[in-house]
Amino acid sequence: MLSLRECRAMSHDNPVREIVSLFGGLTKMASALGHRSHSTIYGWVRAGKIPDWRDGELREAQRRLGIEIPTEIYMAAFLRPIEGSEAA
């Protein structure tokens, strides 16, 4: 589990964290995507990347809820892991 300091540090330059914030947090994003738990979303934040095959469900939730995600943030969330993350 990450410390509060690590979580705050991750929020800078982490496009997934920015997307989660636009949805209102881990739990709200998980609910919007139809997940029972926020753990999947938390894994994306830690990795700094959303799996490509989740694109459709994210776009559907975004459209349904009227959430606008800047294109550069959206693309960055799918293109690369964050340096120093477990997935890098």
**Pairwise pLDDT comparison (21 vs 80), residue with the higher score:** 21
Query: Which CATH architecture describes the domain 4-79?
Result: Orthogonal Bundle (1.10)
**25-56 burial string, b = 16+ CB within 10 Å, else e?**
ebeebbbbbeeeebebbbebbbbbbbeeeeee
Whole-model pTM above 0.85?
no
Domain ranges of the chain: 4-79
Q: Write down the pLDDT at residue 81.
A: 53
Kindly give the interhelix angle for 15-23 and 39-47, rounded to the nearest 10 degrees: 150
Q: Write down the pLDDT at residue 10.
A: 47
The tens digit of pLDDT for each residue in 30-79 reads 999 999 999 999 999 999 999 999 999 999 999 999 999 999 999 999 98
**Pairwise pLDDT comparison (54 vs 88), residue with the higher score:** 54
